Amino acid sequence: MTDETLLSARKLSLSYGMLPALVDVDVDLWPGEMLAVVGESGSGKTTLLNVLSGRLAPDAGAVWYRDPDGHLHDVHAMPAPALRTLHRSDWGFVHQDPRQNLRMNVTAGGNVGERLMAQGARHYGSIREQAIDWLTQVEIDAGRIDDMPRTFSGGMLQRLQIARTLVTHPRLVFMDEPTGSLDVSVQARLLDLIRSLVTRLNIAVVLVTHDIGVARLLAHRIIVMQRGRVVETGLTDQVLDDPQHPYTQLLVSSVLHA
Amino acid sequence: MKGYNFAYLDEQTKRMIRRALLKAVAIPGHQVPFGSREMPLPYGWGTGGIQVTASVLGAGDVLKVIDQGADDTTNAVSIRRFFARTAGVHTTTRTADATVIQTRHRIPEQTLRDDQIIVYQVPQPEPLYRLESSRIETRRMHALADYGLMHVKLYEDIARFGQISISYDYPVMVNRRHLMSPSPIPAFDNPKLHRMPTLQLFGAGREKRIYAIPPWTEVRSLDFDDHPFRPIRAPHPCGLCGATDSYLDEVVIDDRGGRLFVCSDTDHCAERRAAGHVGTEGLKEAAE
Amino acid sequence: MSQVMLRTTALAKSFTLHLQGGVRIPVLSAIGLDLHSGECIVLSGPSGVGKSTLMRSLYGNYRAESGHILIRHRGEMVDLATADPRTILAVRHETLGYVSQFLRVVPRVPAVDVVAEVPTGRGASQDEARRIATDLLLRLNIPRRLHGLPPATFSGGEQQRVNLARGFIGNHPVLLLDEPTASLDAENRAVVISMINEAKARGTAIIAICHDAEVRDAIADRLFALTPLQDAA
Ligand SMILES: Nc1ncnc2c1ncn2[C@@H]1O[C@H](COP(=O)(O)OP(=O)(O)OP(=O)(O)O)[C@@H](O)[C@H]1O
Ligand SMILES: Nc1ncnc2c1ncn2[C@@H]1O[C@H](COP(=O)(O)OP(=O)(O)OP(=O)(O)O)[C@@H](O)[C@H]1O
Ligand SMILES: [Mg+2]
Ligand SMILES: [Mg+2]
């Protein structure tokens, strides 16, 4: 167990006009850890994810990332090229709508291979091999490698997005409602897939979800947000089974078998 | 010609273009915006190239203009005539005699020298244009040298056709930093871009962009280790001069569907024939 | 004398129900308990007295309100009442096992992998982990044809046996068992009793809740009686 965090945020605040979307938020994430961010719609989950990943600058506070060499980087003070490099190598982002991330006019193989090529992979055969390997890992038939994503179902698109993101073995992946756009029958399969891949590859994940069941299934720790504030945080099963804050109790009581 | 400044453009405009050219030379392969002027020619006739040529031309220069390798197409002839009139410069069809060569779609076969300048007419300066429609995004990709997408295009080609199917305007990396469109020259010409002794200038009039490759700059055609770049050439000798190493055009020679492969670089072909080289067609003519 | 593996001092726990106007339910107070290696303590007391609450608090599933829960983890006593989440997870990983009353099924994961997850999580190969898991499931009379199926559709008794296999496979030095035999028939009860006694013989320290007097007599070294608190509200 390492004591050094992979990502740490302190006193993050951000307002949209008069609306406080983040108020004094602290976050710590350790290597290989799954952290769920839950809360009702509009509580600031996506905003937090965007600030943590450097896509949105906070009004106050800082986010620190520790690179594989142990150096700390102030994410919001990083030069744009360095941040972009981070986003296409060490980090990954999984969107609720896979179409936001996938290139719909590029084959499945090209979609999976892009991050490899962006990192300088220049051997077609090996790029293709890795694409096939990843398609298989996300349970897409390797025979579909040259098909366009528009011929894929919603669940397949989401799995393709995951393959495209994980192919470079990122250390940290941000996920915003990865199962949100899928129907329930497909959700379970995807969750299981995320769970096993992330565990096996020891990837740290910040997972935004309003589905407490998803958080329970995947996350080691949980952050409960309400109106931009963290109202409770801790071990996932403790927070969900013995919630202390009134808002968490409300959240937990409003779902069956959470 | 009365009423016009030397080489048509006013001095202030030329200075502005020269400044853009200097910046372009300083950052090889980087597209520099410039205030493209209305020219007495429609876009597509090389207004970008003409403005660049006008800005670098001096009274003592000798100008050659080619279009697809030929000096005698309407386009080439009218541009040559334009500068002969507005600048009073000498013009030539001989590559070796020219000091400035403006070209559309070809690089002369003859190795160019360090006392020459070649000016390319560019319709679309953005190599990522077909892949990413947002200008802001492509600019960011250049700024960050984020060119994975271009390789995705090559990957897609190989996946679909078994090989990279780009036969002209084949993208290159300049000085290991900037992805660049070499203009719609055949991929066959790409190796000539690499470490060329000649200053290479590119002008895109409609898109208002200028870029450059300084002499001796490294220019690599994008490829994969296991699918290396290969300049493609029709597997024939030139019917007129017998050359086996020049880029060929296929021309229809009679109304019975007869076809002939001949050098696309007409000056090169003529020079060779003058030096006594003969192709199959030439032999036939001699026999008749 | 064998080592103390788990010790609680002055442990207290109450629930505050904010959705019911903030009513406070005190459940545990001044719990002092010592558990030694190789020993099995059975919690006793009437329904609703707080047996499961105590056990969940020991596991870190409920948050101790005050007092200490010391557990011997990697040779040192760690206080689970104040430990950070990552420490609690590490203790659960290596030291503290828990068989809940009901299996919480993970969709789509076959029974054998539900059980094998524990050894693979500790670095065992998939094959090795599955082999041990299979043996354990067979011992608990889960027929082979069920091993490859997710337990969601299993009967209550089958699910509980999968849960037991998952709890026992890790050989945790401290094991918490909440009604391990509640929905089992006599034959399977006997299997579980012998598994518990084998574990004790290996030195495992066990705390169990079981209403079945026969099972209790077969496994308990002593009882720990909980008595109802006066309602403060
Ligand atoms: N660009 C923006 N401009 C103005 N207000 C915004 C903007 N983005 C978000 N907000 C507001 O900030 C608050 C937090 O939004 P955010 O998207 O972070 O919520 P969320 O927790 O992700 O909700 P959901 O579960 O619905 O996705 C909301 O009230 C939202 O309306
Ligand atoms: N998560 C919780 N939130 C609120 N109250 C709880 C919670 N868990 C337990 N309680 C309350 O604590 C008291 C003790 O319950 P517990 O389940 O520990 O009893 P028990 O001794 O295990 O009973 P049984 O023998 O019936 O299983 C009960 O009043 C119960 O309602
Ligand atoms: Mg959101
Ligand atoms: Mg109970």
- Reported as a single tens digit per residue, the pLDDT across B171-218 is 999 999 999 999 999 999 999 999 999 999 999 999 999 999 999 999
**Tokens 């984020």, located at residue:** B146
Domain with CATH 3.40.50.300 in chain A: 7-90+170-256
- Which of A139, A212, A235 would you mutate first to test chain C, the one with the most C CBs within 10 A? A235
Q: In the predicted model, what is the mean pLDDT of residues A31-58?
A: 95
- Give the Cα separation of B17 and B201 in Å (integer): 12
**What are C52-68's pLDDT values in tens digits?**
999 999 999 999 999 99
pLDDT attached to residue B2: 57
Nearest of C195, C191, C111, C194 to residue C158 by alpha carbon: C111
Residues A183/A225, Cβ–Cβ less than 8 Å: no
**What are C140-191's pLDDT values in tens digits?**
999 999 999 999 889 989 999 999 999 999 999 999 999 999 889 999 999 9
**What are B125-152's pLDDT values in tens digits?**
999 998 888 999 999 999 988 899 999 9
Report the sign of the C-alpha dihedral through residues C87, C90, C95, C97, in that order. Answer: positive
Fold assignment, A7-90+170-256: Rossmann fold (3.40.50)
- Do chain C and B touch: 3 or more Cβ pairs under 8 angstroms? no
CA angle C21, C26, C32 (to 5 degrees): 160
**What are B225-236's pLDDT values in tens digits?**
999 999 888 899
Residues of chain C with C-beta less than 8 angstroms from the C-beta of A246: 18-19
- Give the residue on C whose Cα is nearest the Cα of A254: C19
pLDDT attached to residue C232: 44
Name every residue whose Cβ is closer than 8 Å to that of residue B202 and which is 6 or more positions away in sequence: B24, B48, B52, B119, B120, B122, B125, B183, B210, B211, B212, B213
Q: Is the pLDDT of residue C230 over 70?
A: no
- Give the Cα separation of B87 and B7 in Å (integer): 4
Looking at the CA of C45, which ligand is closest? 2
**What are C89-99's pLDDT values in tens digits?**
999 999 999 99
Query: Which domains are present in chain C?
Result: 36-63+84-225 (3.40.50.300)
Report the sign of the C-alpha dihedral through residues B101, B107, B112, B114, in that order. Answer: positive
pLDDT attached to residue A257: 55
Distance from the A188 Cα atom to the nearest Cα atom in chain B, whole angstroms: 32
Name every residue whose Cβ is closer than 8 Å to that of residue C96 and which is 6 or more positions away in sequence: C58, C59, C71, C73, C172, C174, C175, C176
Using CB atoms, pick whichever of A106, A125, A145 lies closest to residue B226: A125
Nearest of B169, B187, B189 to residue B179 by alpha carbon: B169
**What are C29-44's pLDDT values in tens digits?**
999 999 999 999 999 9
Name every residue whose Cβ is closer than 8 Å to that of residue C151 and which is 6 or more positions away in sequence: C103, C105, C111, C114, C158, C159, C162
Q: In the predicted model, what is the mean pLDDT of residues B246-270?
A: 90
Question: E strand or H helix at B25, and its extent?
Answer: helix B11-26
pLDDT attached to residue C233: 40
pLDDT attached to residue A1: 55
CA angle C122, C127, C132 (to 5 degrees): 70
Q: Do A85 and B144 touch (CB under 8 A)?
A: yes
- Give the Cα separation of B273 and B240 in Å (integer): 8
**Within 10 A of C3 (CB to CB), how many other CB atoms are there?**
12
Report the sign of the C-alpha dihedral through residues C150, C152, C157, C160, in that order. Answer: positive
Nearest of A5, A53, A28 to residue A174 by alpha carbon: A53
